[in-house]
Each structure stands twice: as C-alpha cells, then as structure tokens.
Structure 1
Amino acid sequence: MRVLSANPEVKQGPDRLLSERHLSIVRLVIPKGTDIKRHRSLMTVTVVGIKGAVEFHTDDDVTTIVPGKAVVMEPGEFHWLEAPDEDGEVMVVHGVLAQ
C-alpha cells in the first residue's frame, strides 16, 4: 500500500501525487476565472470533483463537476476545464484500464 498526500502549497495548477508509466494521479487546482487549455490524453481519464465547481468541456458537451461527481473519458478525447464562478479542485487519474 502507498499513501499519497496532496501538497497544500499548490494554489494553482497541477499537484502530482503519482506519476508512473501507466498511471498518473494529479490534484488540479483551478482558481476562479482561470482554465486548463484544450488537450487530450492517450490514456483513460477520470476526473473527480473535490472542491467548488469546475466546468468540464469536450468538443460535444459540457458538465459541471462538483464534489462527489465524476466523469470518465476515453483515450484521445479532447477536453478542457474552467472555473468561471468559484475556485475549484479536481482529482485527475490517467490510466490504462485492465481489459
């Protein structure tokens, strides 16, 4: 077992908790009025809300992620995030899922 802890010093952007070949876990801090630019991952992406409200966009849809809500995306799907109304934090897991 490994225990991963967030870095409370990170006030904006990524806080990498784990980075391995087939698995990455990142706490992403998005201050009000900022965004994370459009990008994609070659792995499956799971984004879980942990604080505030974050708008999660794909080329076809938008959903607001709040604590207790999550989205899962397939590899290669473009997406971006923004926090238009309040500070937000999400936990992002990039991974290769077992078949």
Structure 2
Amino acid sequence: MKILASDPEVTSGPDQMLAQRHLKITHLVLPKGKTIQRHQSLMTVTVVSIKGSIQFHTDDDVTTLTPGKAVVMTPGEFHWLEAPDADGEVIVVHGVLAQ
C-alpha cells in the first residue's frame, strides 16, 4: 500500500503525486481564468473534482465538475479544462486498465 498526499503549497498547476509506467496521479489546481489546453492521453483518464468548479471539455461535450463529480475518458479522447468562474481542483488519474 502507498499513501499519497498532495502538496498544500501548490496554488497553480500540477502536483505530481505518483508517476509510474502505467499509472499517474496528479493533483491539479486551476485558478479562476486559467485553461489547460486541448490534449489527449494514450491511457484511460479519470478526473475527480475535489474543490471549486472546473469546466471539462471534449470535442463533443462540456460538463461542469464540482466536488463529488467525475469523468472517465477512453484513451485518445481529446479534452481540455478551464476555470472561467471560480478556482478549481481535481485529481487526475491516467492509467492502463486491466482487461
């Protein structure tokens, strides 16, 4: 078992909590007005909101993530995030799922 904790000093951008070959866990702090540009991952991506509000975009949809809400994307799906109205924080998990 590993216990992970985010860095409370991070007020903007990513805080890498775990980086392994098939698994990455990142605490992402997105201040109001900031955007993470459109990108994709070769792994399955799960984004879990833990604080504030973030708009999560795909090429086909947009949803507002608030605490308790999460999205799961398939590998190769383009996405981007923005915090137009309020600061937001999410946990992002990139992983290769067992089949």
TM-score (norm. length: structure 2): 0.99
| Unaligned segments of structure 2, at least 5 residues | none
Structure 2 distance, partners of 1:39, 1:10, is: 22
Please list every run of at least 4 consecutive aligned residues from structure 1 whose deviation after the TM superposition is greater than 2 angstroms.
none
Deviations 1:24-79 (A, max 9, x none): 00000000010100000000000000000100000000000110000000000000
Q: SS of 2:75's equivalent?
A: coil
Alignment of 1:48 with 2:53, yes or no, is no
Shift of 1:9: 1.1
**Aligned length in residues:** 99
Q: Supply the RMSD in Å over aligned alpha carbons.
A: 0.4
Provide the residue aligned with 1:4 in structure 2: 4
Structure 2 distance, partners of 1:49, 1:8, is: 16
Identity %: 72
Provide the residue aligned with 2:30 in structure 1: 30
TM-score (norm. length: structure 1): 0.99
